[in-house]
Amino acid sequence: MPLRLRRLNLLSDNDLVTFLREEATFEEIRTIFGRRAEEIRRNLSEESKSHREGDSLIIVLPGFIASNLVDTADPTRDDDDRMLWLNPGTFIRGDLNKLDLADDGLNNLDPAVRIEAQGIVWPFFAKMVLRLQRDFEVATFPYDWRLPTPLVAQQLMDYIDARLHDSSHDQVTLVAHSLGGLVALDYLTGAFSGSHAQQKVARVITLGTPYRGSVGALSTMATLTQPALKLAKRLNPANDPMRMFRSFPSLYQLLPAPPELYDNWDVVPEIDLWDARVWLDQDIPINEEHLKMARQHHTSIAQADPQVPLYTIAGTNNRTALKLFGPRLDAEPVFGERGVESGDNTVAVEAARFRDRPAYYVHEIHTELVLETTVIEGVQAWVRGEEPDSLVTAPEEVPLEMTTRSGPVSTFDETLLVEKANKDEDPDYEDLHELYKLMGNS
């Protein structure tokens, strides 16, 4: 991954605007952001207000796979070798399993590796952050998305204190995508962090957070038929994506919730996926302790009652896996495409709602909820203390096409990606988009 994209991925939120305005050419911006380049350029041309609006500091929490993971063990190594995620070179070199965690789910399996989260995947979050930075004070929270979310929640508490120390605000608004919403919820309701959150958090806004889990996560852990997993093997047979994913406690937390926790909820009715023997009988190696702890985590989510305002935004009207029938964990899921019987192509509508908290809906796919203009406008309204008029409150009322839908995505050619890497050429937006979308839909 050449210098420009490497630098962008490792930038802090404070340095993003400076880099894009003063160093990157428009051709480089177009390579990095693709069809979003004009929007990025417009955002850069508008000066931030000298007096920031809103009642709180906005902190953006990315989701599963959306923070860059860097091996810091040997600072003399080339930056491209040190950045393990999201880096096409990791796939091509067969280094994917450097991300494996040990059986305890806390430490790296390879003792020679020292992994830290540094920056978020800017090609997908820059639009939201730049739009919000014009009017509000904004920060981002990169974190190691492999780890159990209650552990990350403790890190979030410390991060909030550090950012508020240098802020003009005394509270934060958490805008959390996907897994980031579970981190936020664990922070809101944790035994040590809950009282802290009641003082420091003005509101939480979650985007496509799988409170009840995802059938797609089950498919990722059970079978190599997922496109992202097959891609990793095709790029280099040394990659073992199944072993990698099954070592992450966070992915176990994304499995569909046990049926007894919610009324009219049983998305895997014919088998008990929370019984480790079911997995082992089907020759699927899993970490039994991770499975046990993930079930306990789902129970905590079902009982959670955070004492701060919480709003959920769910994608709808996209083909989404809803249920799994039959005795096999690797069976083909049943999909839905409209209204309540749909989702954002990763998380079902029902799974993205949290108890009786206000829910809003858009026609957008999971990985691009953070790019949806109506979502960003909704965040702006809430932080100003207003009700959003850009969001729909009933899934059946969502237009089948939002004005900012991403449109068709070009066919991904992994051969071309390998050729670019060998020539030390930048992967373009579509290359990264497909990698991120495939892995994010897992």
Q: Are 429 and 123 in contact (CB under 8 A)?
A: yes
Q: Which two tokens stand for residue 296?
A: 């306990």
Q: What is the pLDDT of residues 387-407, one digit of tens each?
A: 999 899 999 899 876 434 433
Q: Could you tell me if 258 and 274 are in contact, meaning their C-beta atoms sit under 8 angstroms apart?
A: yes
Q: Which of 139, 138, 141, 162 is nearest to 153 (CA)?
A: 141
Q: Is the pLDDT of residue 442 over 50?
A: no
CA distance 305 to 32: 41
Q: In angstroms, what is the C-alpha Rg of the chain?
A: 21
Q: What is the pLDDT of residue 406?
A: 39
Strand 320-323, strand 334-336: pairing: antiparallel
Residue 25, pLDDT score: 84
Q: Give the per-residue pLDDT at 225.
A: 64
Mean pLDDT of the chain: 88
CB 435 within 8 A of CB 68: no
Least confidently predicted of 2-6, 66-70, 268-272: 2-6
**How large is the average pLDDT for residues 137-166?**
97
Average pLDDT over residues 14-29: 85
- pLDDT of the residue at 169: 96
Closest CA to 439 of 146, 182, 166: 146
Domain ranges of the chain: 3-65+122-440
Q: Lowest-pLDDT range, 15-19, 115-119, 320-324, 347-351?
A: 15-19
Q: With the CA atoms of 9, 12, 17 and 19 taken in that order, what torsion angle do they form, in degrees rounded to the nearest 10?
A: -60
pLDDT of res. 1: 45
Beta bridge partners of 60: 140, 175
Average pLDDT of 369-377?
95
pTM of this structure: 0.91
Poorest-pLDDT segment among 72-86, 172-186, 419-433: 419-433
CA-to-CA distance for 45 and 132, rounded, in angstroms? 14
* Segment holding 209, helix H or strand E: none
Residue indicated by tokens 């040190």 = 82
Residue 322 one-letter amino acid: L
Q: Which residue has the tokens 């957070």?
A: 209
% of the chain beyond a pLDDT of 70: 86
- pLDDT score of 47: 74
Higher pLDDT, 233 or 191: 191
**What CA–CA distance (Å, rounded) separates 172 from 199?**
10
pLDDT digits (tens, 9 = 90+) for 161-211: 999 999 999 999 999 999 999 999 999 999 999 999 999 999 999 999 999
% pLDDT > 90, the chain: 67
Q: Is the pLDDT of residue 409 over 50?
A: no
Say what the pLDDT of residue 417 is.
55
Can you identify the CATH homologous superfamily of domain 3-65+122-440? Alpha/Beta hydrolase fold, catalytic domain (3.40.50.1820)
**How many angstroms separate the CA atoms of 393 and 378, rounded?**
12
List the one residue out of 336, 345, 348, 399 whose CA is nearest residue 368: 345
For residue 177, report the phi and psi dihedrals to the nearest 5 degrees: -100, 130
Query: For position 74, what pLDDT does the model report?
Result: 84
More confident residue, 225 or 155: 155
For residue 24, list its beta bridge partners.
Answer: none
Beta strands 57-61 and 138-140: pairing type? parallel
Confidence (pLDDT) at 113 = 95
Residue carrying structure tokens 């579970």 = 182
Average pLDDT in the 246-260 region?
97
d(CA 224, CA 233): 9
- Could you report the per-residue pLDDT of 290-342, keeping only the tens digit for each? 999 999 999 999 999 999 999 999 999 999 999 999 999 999 999 999 999 99
The Cα–Cα gap between 292 and 105 comes to 13
Cross-strand pairs, 138: 58
Q: Which residues contact 340 (CB under 8 A, 6 or more apart)?
A: 316, 349, 350, 395, 396
Residue 93 has pLDDT above 80, yes or no: yes
**Average pLDDT score over residue span 146-150:** 98
Q: What mean pLDDT is predicted for residues 431-438?
A: 56
How is residue 392 annotated by DSSP? Answer: B
SS3 labels along 195-212: HHHHHHEEEEEEECCCCC
21 or 388, which is more confident: 388
Q: Which of 93, 310, 328 is nearest to 203 (CA)?
A: 310
Task: Look at residue 354 and give its three-state secondary structure.
Answer: coil
Residue of higher predicted confidence among 86 and 435: 86
* Per-residue pLDDT, 228: 66
User: Helix, strand, or coil here: 188?
Assistant: helix
Question: Residue 67, exposed/middle/buried by CB under 10 A (0-12, 13-18, 19+)?
Answer: buried
